[in-house]
A = this chain, B = another copy of it.
Amino acid sequence: MSATDHLVDANQQYVERFSGARPARPRLQLAVLTCMDARLDLFGALGLDIGDAHLLRNAGGIPTDDALRSLAISQRALGTREIVVIHHSECGMDGFDDGEFRAKLEQESGVAPSWRVPGFTDLYADAKQSIRTVRNCPWLPFRDDVRGFVFDVASGALTEVTAD
């Protein structure tokens, strides 16, 4: 039985206890950008419930063009006002060698990736840079309340990072 089959089974039980539809517009008017890391349980770690917040996740929790696109839609079409950026300890993008990775992909597939892989070398410095990138994005109408945190995967604790 594949992992995906297990998800399908679990979903059948979820449907039985499902508490019903919620509005599409996030109740907390909040969007959270963070890493895809399997150790980040955002509902648990942030006390979120269904319908509370948009959750955006990629490798590193990096404000890529795609993340900024999603944030623009979140604010302009679905009414969010606050943004939280969360990086975390033991992140796979910490110390990641973009050049080596892309060269390997090209060597194996015969096709160079059209994208870069933005790694970083200092977790806190990168978190600060990510906050600044979001604050400087000209397509986001609400940038006064952008805050950043580092999540410790060993303790579950958030530590706020200030960009200035």
Contacts and interface: CB of A to CB of B under 8 A. Distances in A.
A103 to B, nearest CB: 12
A36 B66 contact: no
A82 B28 contact: no
A65 B115 contact: yes
Interface residues of A, number: 88
Contact of A66 (B26, B47, B66): B66
A115 B66 contact: yes
Q: What is the oligomeric copy number?
A: 2
Contacts of A157: 11, 15, 18
A30 interface: yes
A113 B38 contact: no
B54 A37 contact: yes
Nearest to A69: B115
Contact of A105 (B38, B110, B111, B139): B139
A31 B38 CA distance: 9
A131 B113 CA distance: 19
Interface of A: 2-4, 6-11, 13-15, 18, 20-22, 24-31, 36-41, 43-48, 50-59, 64-70, 72-74, 76-78, 82, 84, 90, 92-93, 96, 101, 104-105, 108-111, 113-115, 117, 138-139, 141, 145, 147, 153-158, 160
